[in-house]
């Protein structure tokens, strides 16, 4: 039998627990059987394994092989400079691994945060004695005592309750305190009012309860398991980078093997062929791609931090740009997590034929405010309010409207889930508001009044009169219909509606309150209704509008009922038509096929949801090819945050668990910040494509010299070390400058890119390899042959690697590539728009990158250290000016191509 359905008196028998509690030996046996009351960690990858993976991916293995053969070549055939090459390649491997590991690794603290949410010790009854026991030593069957301020150590069935109110926000995400009782319950376990769940907090009152689940067996533990066991998977960008590196590495390897064999066929020696094959591989592999991408993402995360979005996982910067669905929690995310009085209604017709001149001579509105203030357990100290959010909202409204009343509370019938109402008996000492009538103030000072507030359906049937214009009138059927209509109108707007009534009593009646509750809460005078809501964040409607324009669908998750959820959704513009609303109890019975059908609708709301439900929705959305972002702030959100493509936690209101499980934290809890972050994410992806095009453009002038060397038997125009000088030196900062480009106009007017869209698509590759690259290759070969011919070189003449003329010629080839790349950086700022329309000075980092690029090239060309490392020799500045023509020509050619693209709408 379910523990929540048992009567309180049978719970102890069911769990085999004596009335005086477990004896110490029995508790020790159960501790040995069930284990300590702790959250256990799911086994994770070790730091060593994570670090090892950075050295063993496909690109790294290819470079390790190249380094091995370089060292082997130096050992078998010294003096060819292969030792330097080997160390350079190993350096590339460590640079890539270091950047990736340091930036991507973060401590998994979610489970540690969960542990902090369980108390260190708790009061228990063992062997008839009440004692303090460590939370870890609590076992199923322990009788525990919880009171105001306590955090519940384990799932427990309440057997005695005294006005206890619990805050279940850590579990459900909903902050409104809920009452707990000891009576049996036949509904869903998670909704049981007789269960105190581990990790939740007692707001008021006290209870005696019996523990029935500890550690990982609690609802809290199940969430911990879901959070720890979920594998986040690779981001879209990570998958793209893996594909790119594998394709490029495979091409490089095939070319190296092919031309190694071709070298033997045309009669070259083994070492010549080997150097050539390694050169082809190094020229094809974009060694600087991974560190450049990583640094670009880091720059993007810094820009997002300035816009109040903290990125924890670098690849999440780009993932945001591809998001097609946002699954958002309502409370605390779309709303402010503050209850607020939205509407006040009282019955106030001009006159009523049956009106009796009554004893209360004040307006109905004033009386409504009196009840709101006096039938209330919230407190105000020095302007600071504490207590239940609903009661705080009522108290604030009352004090602001009628001033503070000083009153003596004689007695109270507390709220409970069965009656759904609360009644207090008060004697008002004085009225602080100037607006209160003298008659009413005298009345309240001289007599006792019972004030009642609660659910409409439980208060109105107890009323026989109604207060209208300060006069008591009989409550006839017509007025009941009018009141019911007002109630329906308010609930239709998503408001939580409370009804208010009162009854004048004799002083002697206070002594009979406990035995005559039913008589006290009868023949009441109805006063009015107050509608409250958790108001939406003011920025949310505009943020949702922007998401719609960007083609991003928003699905709302909430623990509220469907009617409230839909009303809030309409108020913020989330739904405009007839949305599909799925409640938790219906969700459980739905098959995956039915759920997919529901998710296919344009507007979807999920209400009364639990953590495992959210995970299932995210899983199905991802299975349908959607890129899913999940927002949330509670423990209940953590598993879904972890499973999503990107998890977004609230920084101010979010729990530690949610923050640790998320990839991004909104520092201002502003839903609108997500839109800014998505815009940055889309810009980052555009910029990565720009600098990938920039980097790949220099691959052609690095490859063609090797092809010419193999086919035409000329001196090698570009050495391997000079290739690395471009890939890891001169190209790096300009590429990073492209990563700082601002979002292009209309980036948030386009739909998210599809999952099949490639980072290296055909237009990007053809532009780099077939258009820009050949221009740079022509520049490099021109510089090489110009210097050779100027020095008197004859075709077919072999030159030693330390020959001055040869070193000057290779230096000219390298310089030509660098100068061409200087023109290329302006060409790559946009695929379609002219650099003149963008503005040359809108990205000043480009000029800094160009300056560093030229300074580094001057060092390589003119400094002895640069000459020694890269095999270069100084050249005349006249050659620089001649080669500059190619940089200008490349820029002009690209501007002409963009013109035709815009003119003829070529994609």
Catalytic annotation, residues: 329
Three-state DSSP class for 60? helix
* CA–CA dist 898, 61 (Å, integer): 39
H or E segment at 710? Answer: helix 699-712
What are the tokens at 61?
A: 């293995």
The string of DSSP codes covering 252-270 is: HHHHHHHHHHHHHHTT--H
Which uninterrupted H or E stretch holds 476?
none
Cβ atoms of residues 699 and 817 within 8 Å: no
Sign of CA dihedral 876, 879, 881, 884: negative
Asked if residues 615 and 590 have their Cβ atoms less than 8 Å apart, the reply is no
Residues 6+ apart with CB under 8 A from 433: 366, 401, 402, 403, 404, 405
Return phi, psi of residue 122, to 5°.
-150, 155
Evaluate whether 669 touches 685 at the Cβ level (below 8 Å).
no
Apex 182 CA angle, 177 and 186, nearest 5: 90
Distance in angstroms (rounded) separating the CA atoms of residues 11 and 867:
86
Q: Which of 626, 648, 645 is nearest to 637 (CA)?
A: 648
Coil, helix or strand at residue 564: helix
**Vertex 252 angle, CA 54 and 49, to 5°:** 10
Distance (Å, whole) CA 840 – CA 851 = 15
Query: In a 10 Å sphere around its CB, with 0-12 CB exposed, 13-18 middle and 19+ buried, how is residue 16 labelled?
Result: exposed
CA angle at 352 for the pair 347 and 358, rounded to the nearest 5° = 80
Pairwise CA distance, residues 321 & 755, whole Å: 12
Helix axis angle for 877-903 and 804-827, nearest 10°, is 30
Q: Which of 901, 545, 891, 906 is nearest to 749 (CA)?
A: 545
Handedness of CA 89, 91, 93, 96 (dihedral sign): negative
Element (H, E) at 405: strand 405-413
Residues 6+ apart with CB under 8 A from 527: 346, 364, 367, 368, 371, 466, 467, 500, 501, 502
Residue 161 phi, psi dihedral angles, 5° rounding: -135, 140
Provide the pairing of β-strand 553-558 with 379-381.
unpaired
CA dist 601 and 324 (Å) reads 14
Q: What is the DSSP string of 303-317?
A: HHHHTTEEESSTHHH
Give the separation between CA 642 and CA 103, rounded to whole angstroms.
19
């Amino acid at each position: 039998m379910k523990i929540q359905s048992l009567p309180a008196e049978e719970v102890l028998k069911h769990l085999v627990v004596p009335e005086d509690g477990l004896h110490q030996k029995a508790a020790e046996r159960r501790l040995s059987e069930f284990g300590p009351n702790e959250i256990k960690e799911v086994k994770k990858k070790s730091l060593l394994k994570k670090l090892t993976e950075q050295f063993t991916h496909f690109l790294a293995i290819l470079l390790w092989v190249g380094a091995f053969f370089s060292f082997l070549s130096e050992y078998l055939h010294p003096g060819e400079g292969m030792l330097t090459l080997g160390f350079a390649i190993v350096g590339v491997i460590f640079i890539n691994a270091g950047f990736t590991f340091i930036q991507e690794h973060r401590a998994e603290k979610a489970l540690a945060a969960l542990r902090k949410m369980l108390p260190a010790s708790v009061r228990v009854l063992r062997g008839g004695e009440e004692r303090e026991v460590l939370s870890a030593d609590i076992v199923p069957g322990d009788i525990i005592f919880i009171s105001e301020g306590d955090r519940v150590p384990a799932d427990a069935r309440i057997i005695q309750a005294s006005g206890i109110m619990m805050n279940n926000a850590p579990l459900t995400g909903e902050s409104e305190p809920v009452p707990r009782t000891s009576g049996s319950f036949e509904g869903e376990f998670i909704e049981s009012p007789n269960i105190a769940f581990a990790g939740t907090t007692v707001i008021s009152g006290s209870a005696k309860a019996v523990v029935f689940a500890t550690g990982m067996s609690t609802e809290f533990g199940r969430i911990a398991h879901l959070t720890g066991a979920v594998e986040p998977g690779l981001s879209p960008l990570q998958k793209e980078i893996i594909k790119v590196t594998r394709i490029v590495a495979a091409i490089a390897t095939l070319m190296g093997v092919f031309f190694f064999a071709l070298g033997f066929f045309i009669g070259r020696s083994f070492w010549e062929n080997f150097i050539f094959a390694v050169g082809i591989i190094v020229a094809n592999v974009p060694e600087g791609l991974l560190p450049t991408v990583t640094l670009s993402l880091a720059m993007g995360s810094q820009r997002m931090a300035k816009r109040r979005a903290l990125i924890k996982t670098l690849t999440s910067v780009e993932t945001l740009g591809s998001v097609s669905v946002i699954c958002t929690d309502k409370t605390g995310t779309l709303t402010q997590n503050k209850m607020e009085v939205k509407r006040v209604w009282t019955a106030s017709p001009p006159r009523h034929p049956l009106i009796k001149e009554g004893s209360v001579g004040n307006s109905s509105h004033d009386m409504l405010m009196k009840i709101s203030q006096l039938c209330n357990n919230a407190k105000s100290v020095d302007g600071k309010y504490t207590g239940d959010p609903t009661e705080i909202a009522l108290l604030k409204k009352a004090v602001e409207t009628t001033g503070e009343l000083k009153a003596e509370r004689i007695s109270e019938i507390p709220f409970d889930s069965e009656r759904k109402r609360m009644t207090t008996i008060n004697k008002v000492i004085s009225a602080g508001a100037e607006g209160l009538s003298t008659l009413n103030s005298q009345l309240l000072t001289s007599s006792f009044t019972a004030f009642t507030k609660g659910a409409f359906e439980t208060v109105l049937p107890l009323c026989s009169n109604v207060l209208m214009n300060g006069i008591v009138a009989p409550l006839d059927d017509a007025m009941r219909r009018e009141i019911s209509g007002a109630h329906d109108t308010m609930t239709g707007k998503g408001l939580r509606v409370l009804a208010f009534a009162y009854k004048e009593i004799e002083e002697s009646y206070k002594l009979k309150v406990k035995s005559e509750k039913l008589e006290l809460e009868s023949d009441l005078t109805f006063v009015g209704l107050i509608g409250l809501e958790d108001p939406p964040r003011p920025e949310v409607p505009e943020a949702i509008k922007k998401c719609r324009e960007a083609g991003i669908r928003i699905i709302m998750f909430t623990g509220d009922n469907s009617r409230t959820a839909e009303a809030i959704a309409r108020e913020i513009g989330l739904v405009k038509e007839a949305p599909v609303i799925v409640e938790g109890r219906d969700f459980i019975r739905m098959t995956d096929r039915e759920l997919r059908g529901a998710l296919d609708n344009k507007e979807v709301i999920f209400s009364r949801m639990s953590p495992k439900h959210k995970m299932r929705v995210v899983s199905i959305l991802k299975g349908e090819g959607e890129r899913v972002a999940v927002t949330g702030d509670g423990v209940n959100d953590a598993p879904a945050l972890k499973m999503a493509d990107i998890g977004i936690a609230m920084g101010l209101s979010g729990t530690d668990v949610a923050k640790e499980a998320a990839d991004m934290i909104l520092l201002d809890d502003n839903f609108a910040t997500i839109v800014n972050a998505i815009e940055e994410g889309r810009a980052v992806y555009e910029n990565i494509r720009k600098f990938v095009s920039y980097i790949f453009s220099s691959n052609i002038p690095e490859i063609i010299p090797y092809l010419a060397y193999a086919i035409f038997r000329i001196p090698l125009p570009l050495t391997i070390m000079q290739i690395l000088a471009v890939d890891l030196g001169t190209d790096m900062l300009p590429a990073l400058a492209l990563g700082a480009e601002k979002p292009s106009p209309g980036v948030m007017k386009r739909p998210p890119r599809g999952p099949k869209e490639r980072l290296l698509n055909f237009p990007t590759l053809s532009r780099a390899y077939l258009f820009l690259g050949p221009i740079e290759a022509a520049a490099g070969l021109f510089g090489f042959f110009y210097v050779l011919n100027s020095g008197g070189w004859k075709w077919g003449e072999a030159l030693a690697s330390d020959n001055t003329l040869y070193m000057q010629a290779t230096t000219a080839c390298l310089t030509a590539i660098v100068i061409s790349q200087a023109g290329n950086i302006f060409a790559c700022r946009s695929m379609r728009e002219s650099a003149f329309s963008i503005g040359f000075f809108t990205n000043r980092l480009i000029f800094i990158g160009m300056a560093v690029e030229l300074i580094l090239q001057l060092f390589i060309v003119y400094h002895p250290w640069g000459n020694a490392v890269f095999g270069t020799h100084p050249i005349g500045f006249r050659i620089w000016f001649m080669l500059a023509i190619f940089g200008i020509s490349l820029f002009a050619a690209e501007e002409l191509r963009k013109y035709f693209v815009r003119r003829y709408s070529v994609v």
